[in-house]
Amino acid sequence: MVMSLDNTSRIKVRDKFFRLYLRKEKIDEIVCAIAGRIDVDYAGKTPLFLGILNGAFIFTSDLVRKLQVQCEISFVKYASYHGLESSEKISRLIGLNEKIKGRDIIIAEDIVDTGFTIANLLNDLKQYEPASVSIACFCFKKESFREDFKINYCGLEIPNLFVVGYGLDYDGAGRNFPDIYQLDESDV
């Protein structure tokens, strides 16, 4: 069975068990708070959101629907995870199609841990000469972070946990859960 929910607020995704970490109601509050800050900072502007696929599709969707400012949305696809580990090898699978020279860009990411994926994207964006680039992420693993860029809109700082749900996955599975679950270490 790929995914299942048991009666103790645990889920099984592939061969691992995860326990409840954050309920969808709290997730919604966090996303609303980020949207409120972006509305203030980008009043009168039309930023282009670049969601990083696959994980950030839910966060990006929820975030832009809560905004009052006009915006545009596009996606780029980078990959760095294999199983439970983040690799230092980043693969860009789908690139930019929009003209971004002189545009205000907001990168939307589900989770920032090492920071390698966003560092690669920031490096790629330089050649297009955007007016500005900001970063909005739902989760930030400060303990794992190994880059030096600034996260402008951080929803939640979490310890170095492996989490699934709300777009976050384990080998492609578990993204669809509305709550966030952490790896249940008692089953490892």
- Domains and their CATH numbers in the chain: 46-172 (3.40.50.2020)
Reply yes or no on whether 28 is catalytic: no
pLDDT in tens, the chain (188 residues): 234 455 568 999 999 999 999 999 999 999 999 999 999 999 999 999 999 999 999 999 999 999 999 999 999 998 665 566 665 666 665 778 889 999 999 999 999 999 999 999 999 999 999 999 999 999 999 999 999 999 999 999 999 999 999 999 999 999 999 999 999 988 65
134: left (phi over 0), alpha (psi -120 to 50) or beta: beta
Residue among 62, 113, 169, 179 flagged as catalytic: 113
Query: What is the value of pTM for the model shown?
Result: 0.90
